[in-house]
Amino acid sequence: MFAVRLIDDVELRPLNPWHAGEFLANLDRAREHIAPWVSPSFVATDLAGARRVLQRYADRWACDDGGIWGIWSGGTLVGGVLLVSLNAATGVCEAGCWLEPAAEGRGLVTRAVSRLVDWALVERGLHRVEWRTNAGNARSIAVARRLGMRRDGVLREVLPGPQGRIDLEVWSVLAPEWQARRSAADGRTSRGGAEAR
């Protein structure tokens, strides 16, 4: 129910507090892999903590301030995407993601974030989606590039980290840019279909 197929047996669907057990199991498989890149408050270590994280995003969704969706592959939660924040008054939101190592290399995050950006800019009518990432997170930066985002700049040493202060890169895509990209992709699809006939 309320699922969007990404590829084959992979779905994007809401991640709710009652999924806390599945979310914790996913975090346990991903913990070491994602810990350097995500907020410590996100990486719950027990069932109550996992439920609190999911409840926080459920509350944000109810307040039109954010949200969280899981990526299920073959019925197993392997990662997800989230709106870290959403400000309807300014038309700006921040997207994020996580994925366990076994699910990498299939384009799942790029597909899922693309659906999220599409929802935010087209259906929800926001103007700007931001992507903030540790400057050392090559995989996250690659997702931003694949989605046609532009690098706005670097917030130097903005966050404390285990090995010192962290630089944060800010990437974004604006609604007109996203629409142009969609139109170009639709045009390629149409021409490809005509050529195939």
Least confident of 24-38, 94-108, 143-157: 24-38
Q: Which two tokens stand for residue 34?
A: 């994602």
Over the stretch 124-147, which tens digit does the pLDDT of each residue have? 999 999 999 999 999 999 999 999
Q: Does 39 score more than 90 pLDDT? A: no
In the chain, what are the domain boundaries? Answer: 4-196
> How distant, in Å, are the alpha carbons of 25, 44, 60, 66, 114 from that of 39?
18, 10, 17, 16, 22
Q: For residue 17, name the pLDDT band (cuts at 50, 70, 90).
A: very high
Give the pTM.
0.89
Considering only CA atoms, which of 58, 63, 59, 48 is closest in space to residue 14? Answer: 58
* Alpha carbons 55 and 193: distance in angstroms, whole number: 45
* Alpha carbons 128 and 172: distance in angstroms, whole number: 7
Q: Does 154 score more than 90 pLDDT? A: yes
Over the stretch 66-97, which tens digit does the pLDDT of each residue have? 999 999 999 999 999 999 999 999 999 999 99
Please give the CATH number for the structural domain made up of 4-196: 3.40.630.30
Alpha-helical regions (H) of the chain: 20-34, 47-62, 108-118, 138-146, 175-196
Over the stretch 89-122, which tens digit does the pLDDT of each residue have? 999 999 999 999 999 999 999 999 999 999 999 9
